[in-house]
Structure 1
Amino acid sequence: MAELHYFTGTMDSGKSTLALQTNHNHAARGRIGQIFTTHDRSGEALLSSRLGLTHEANEVSEGFDFWRHVVETLTRGGRIDYLICDEAQFYSPDQIDQLARIVDELQIDVFAFGILTDFRSLLFPGSARLVELADRMHVLQVEALCWCGKRATHNARTENGAMVTEGDQVVVGDVEDQDAEPADVAYEVLCRQHHRRRLTAARARAVSLAPEPLPFG
């Protein structure tokens, strides 16, 4: 039986790498799949990993219809055994419903990859719908780390080096390079404590990491 899988983790946890590996493993067994992504860091219609791996992909626009695309492909005599769907947090709830319908009615496996929450620690609508509908949900075991060394659990957005908690949910930016000049818009992963305190790696360096006071006094 086909299934809808959702693989999730913070940034830097290897989601896109796993998406590419999943495609490789299935293709090596003679299965035919299609890859989808949106807002990839490397540009349109491309799935890329921070390890440097890339693969051509179908770009998922706001009005893209997965059901129509797959049915039209099959009607023309094409074959699809599985779908790889990266950056699935950016898909609309309707598009997630279409993926579930493809699994149930066409018996095509769907492997979706994405992050759960945005820079405000709120669920992306696409991720929320995947949590509601997925047959299997997998939390990636490769742990991203906060600058302090603790497990990173939150995605932070910075603007000109300062962490922000307001703004549009989807803004493409650079992944923070701690040794480079701050980008206009960038992202880094933090533990919950430092996300709450808005203490990014750059700000921690700026204050010389003086011992933090105890939360009482």
Structure 2
Amino acid sequence: MILSFFDQFMSPTLLGIPLIAVAMLIPWLLFPTPTNRWVNNRLITLQSWFINNFAKQIFTPINKPGHKWALILVSLMLLLMSLNLLGLLPYTFTPTTQLSLNMGLAVPLWLATVLIGLRNQPTAALGHLLPEGTPTPLIPVLIIIETISLFIRPLALGVRLTANLTAGHLLIQLIATAAFVLLPIMPTVSILTSIVLFLLTLLEVAVAMIQAYVFVLLLSLYLQENV
């Protein structure tokens, strides 16, 4: 029986219990907890350097009130990056290929930025729906277009993350299947295909990190508009 290539994206279950919760909790165990010592080990030092530089890059253009979001956005970045990278290992499951999970992360955080803008600066938040200097006849049309683009933002966040990871995993499985099938028939072509597979895997590692960064970066830009 030939299984579908999309079976790899099904949420695995054990004794009727979905394992997506386990897959989301495991990455937190991989990050070491900083100690109270003056000198930490290399891993904790590297982790602290990465988190500090990432937070500095994300929150430099954002006003002081938006810096309260540092903990949640840095944690989200580490979670997404860990899930994406762990999903590349054999016999693992990538929770971020599920649109439901990505939308569950994107919609509440996007809605929080919008509500913060409406509460703190309602005039500026509503002013984004109408660019300055718009001709009077175009005002209703532009307000409708900007409102639609505002509500499409969380959908774009979730779909972008899902589509990029799904496409990368599917392409890796297709090329790996081709390499195995061609090995007894055309070994030379199979070796060339394996080289392409290796390069694609490196690209997918980069995509896994970049997509986590892009997800958090876009959220920070939405926050910057409303703070």
Q: TM-score range by the shorter chain?
A: under 0.3
Relative to the length of structure 1, the TM-score reads: 0.22
The answer to which structure has the higher strand fraction is 1
Relative to the length of structure 2, the TM-score reads: 0.21
The answer to which structure has the higher helix fraction is 2
Larger Rg: 2
Greater relative contact order: 1 or 2 (C-alpha under 8 angstroms, separation 6 or more)? Answer: 2
